[in-house]
Amino acid sequence: MRLKTILFFTLFFSLQIIAGKVIKNPEIEYRARWMTITEIELTKEATIIRGTLGQGSSIINNTVLRDRNSGKEYKFLRVEGIKAHEQAVDGTTCSVYFEPLDAEVKELNYIEVGNNMLGNYYGIKLQSKTKQSKREVANSGAREVNPESLDFDYYMSQPYTPNTKWHFSNLPYKSAFEGGKAQIKIHIKKLPKEIANMVASATARVTNQITRQEETIFANIDENNSFTLDLNLPYPQSIYINSFGNLFITPGDTLEMFTTIETAPDNRGPRFKTFRSKGESAVINTLLPKLIEKYGKNEYNYKEASEMIAKGKDAVQPVLERWANQANEIIADEEFRQALINSPLSTFGKDIVMMSAVTNKCIEVEDVMSNYQSNQYTQTQSEDGSVKLEMNPNYVPLDYDLVYGILLKNKDLIFNNALVLCEFSQWVFVNRTLYSQMLNKWNNDRDEHGYIINQYRCDDYGMAGTFMNDLWLSQHIVFDMERTQKDDKLGQLGEYRSVRLDYIANKVGESLAGIQNIKVAQTITNEFRNFVKSTEIGTEEIGTGWTEEQEALWNKIVSPYKGNLLLLDFWNMGCGPCRSGMMSQKKIVEELKDEPVKFLYINTINEKDDSEKWMGEKNIKGEHIYITNEEWKQFQTMINFQGIPRCVLVGKNGKLIERDFDITSASEIGELIKRF
């Protein structure tokens, strides 16, 4: 009896202690960005979560607290300081009440039922954050620098010898760059078990802007919550990594990134992202964004730009001229130059930062000009997916000569500089410039009836001989070679095969005559050798080199339809061209319904409900297939694609024929059924 009494009072007092507990700044493994939890109070009547809300955030009543160990849930009761579902202004304080916790609860998850899992809180410990003692910090620092301390100030404090004679130049890069192998390791800190499967893999995109060819690299997460991506780089460049953004790396380097999937409160990337490397890649990744933010004169805002464009030329023209002048001002900014001199960056690193700042400004100019120019036409889409364009009678063209005239004051530094291959925006500056009026303006010769008899590219801005013109020539001739290779493989050249092959040979010669950069010329020469080889001996079925896991995935999708020619169409609901293409294919699918051909529309499983609804409403026939996000990433690596729509042609034997196929007509597919 006495023992029972002791146990009763022990339990009673322990419950009393827990019920009266207040935890300041609780330790949390994973934090969503919409609320900063500052305090947890445990009472007999409720569990109270106190904190401050971010701009536009709200407390919704379908939330629960979940014991991380047992899974038991504690219901939402009420909220004070703001009404449920009401949007908050930044810094709004509130108290959210839930049912009281049981005594044995040690860790909680704050769950919004049915919402995005990344918007929850995981591993809320019922204890305040512990601070390391000075001795502990000193001891840990003596063994190894904490990766989270590898910030801007850390790298700026490293010893260096300032090169006071440094000026931004294109001279060191006249021969472009050498390529080589490199490695990126991504370490995810504080990855909760509940959402680990959401980042189970990563894909990286390596681009060669000389040929506009891309390679997709895939990696699974390991037991240490890390990814290792082995790259083969054509030159130093910014690599896009799915879910982690752009990372700059040079051939021969090993770059490590330490990050979290927690989003920063301002929604600008993760809460922290730090780097270390054998070479200079870590320093560039760390310093470049901060220096551009300070000296890059960034004014672009999508909403404001859209409103400005809607007002017409008189609103847009002066802004474009100011931005073009700002690109020149960045180059001439002595304060910026001194900041780069007084940094541990090498000459190459300094040039990369400067080039990235300048091209970022040029991208702003081209984006607005391109969006403004799109108002030249109005378009309407018919039920069958076709688009009708009509001239906009209110459209007034911009004065391109004036804007480009300003930028061309630094033509050699901006447009005749191989550093454009390496700058931080990855492919954006090159893409915007090559398709701008500066490099892609055409004139037509017409006969007496007004028909076009000849079309030729103009050089109104004196771009011949520049590196950007080299890229224009190289990308276009590689595209012509790839198109011809594809048509030859599919048997579509017919009696004009020899004429087409002669055309390519002559076109390569013309392009090489106009290319100034040795690296670009060598690349095109090698591409032409491969082209000649493929058209002389033909090409075997592709697809070798896949892993066993990838082969199994391929067979899972393809095997049920063997004996049919297959068209695998990768799409999603957010892709307008995807849906438009599916609409335009409806007639083709109907015409071929009795033929040995299948149309496989492939999307991710998380879009299944919306996809099925839309496809049902639009009567989209064919096979509707849904795969996981991880399987989608695997296909991106196997097929080597990033953007969609992407259609893949597969033979009746289940072997991959063409990675990038355009569906044009039922008769064309009929011929392919006979051939393959």
DSSP per residue, 396-416: ----HHHHHHHHGGGHHHHTS
Q: Give me the sheet containing 63-67, strands edge to edge.
A: 22-24, 35-42, 47-53, 92-98, 73-80, 63-67, 107-112, 121-128, 26-30
The residue type at 148: E
Within 102-261, strands assigned E span 107-112, 121-128, 180-188, 201-208, 213-220, 226-233, 237-241, 245-249, 254-259
Pairing type for strands 63-67 and 47-53 reads unpaired
Cβ-based neighbour number of residue 615 at 10 Å: 18
Question: For the residues 627-634, what does the mean pLDDT come to?
Answer: 90
Read off the pLDDT of each residue in 561-582 and give the average, rounded to a whole number: 91
133 pLDDT band, cuts 50/70/90, is very low
Nearest to 231 by CA among 245, 213, 218: 218
Check residue 643 and give its pLDDT. Answer: 84
Do 592 and 670 meet the contact criterion of CB atoms below 8 Å apart?
yes
Assign 606 a pLDDT band (cuts: 50, 70, 90).
confident
Tens of pLDDT, residue by residue over 16-46, are: 445 578 999 999 999 988 899 999 999 999 9
* Cβ within 8 Å of residue 251, ≥6 positions away: 177, 178, 179, 180, 181, 182, 233, 235, 236
Nearest to 493 by CA among 671, 676, 648: 671
- Residues 448 and 204 sit within 8 Å (Cβ to Cβ): no
At 676 the pLDDT is 84
Question: For residue 174, is pLDDT > 70?
Answer: yes
How many Cα atoms sit within 13 Å of 142 on the Cβ side? 6
% of the chain with per-residue pLDDT over 70: 92
pLDDT at residue 263 in the model: 83
Q: What is the pLDDT of residue 198?
A: 83
Indicate the average pLDDT of the chain.
Answer: 89
Residue 134: per-residue pLDDT: 42
| Rounded average pLDDT over 526-532 | 95
Residue 392 pLDDT grade (very low, low, confident, very high; cuts 50, 70, 90): confident
The answer on pLDDT for 438 being more than 90 is yes
Angle at 322 between CA 320 and CA 324, to 5 degrees: 70
Beta pairing class for 107-112 and 121-128: antiparallel
The pLDDT-based confidence of 494 (bands split at 50, 70, 90) is: confident
How many residues does the structure list for the chain?
Answer: 676
3-state secondary structure of 204: strand
What pLDDT does residue 143 have? 41
Rounded to whole angstroms, how far apart are CA atoms 112 and 60?
Answer: 8
Helix (H, G, I), strand (E, B) or coil at 265: coil
Query: Higher pLDDT residue, 141 or 267?
Result: 267
Radius of gyration of the chain (CA): 30
pLDDT number for residue 145? 65
pLDDT at 131 over 70: no
324 — pLDDT class (breaks 50, 70, 90): very high
CA gap 649, 600 in Å, rounded: 10
So what's the pLDDT on residue 4? 47
Full-model pTM? 0.84
Most distant CA pair in the chain, distance: 115
| pLDDT tens-digit readout, 55-104 | 889 998 899 999 999 999 999 999 999 999 999 998 999 999 999 999 99
Summarize the confidence of residues 647-661 as an average pLDDT: 90
The average pLDDT across 362-371 equals 95
Is the pLDDT score of 257 beyond 60? yes
Any bridge partners for residue 377, and if so which? 391
Strand partners, 188: 259
Predicted pLDDT of residue 18: 53
User: Is 60 exceeded by the pLDDT of residue 178?
Assistant: yes
Selection from 76-80, 607-611, 657-661 with the highest mean pLDDT? 76-80
- Among 79-93, 325-339, 388-402, 556-570, the range with the most confident prediction by mean pLDDT is 325-339
Of residues 442 and 468, the one with the higher pLDDT is 468
Cα 145 → chain centroid: 30
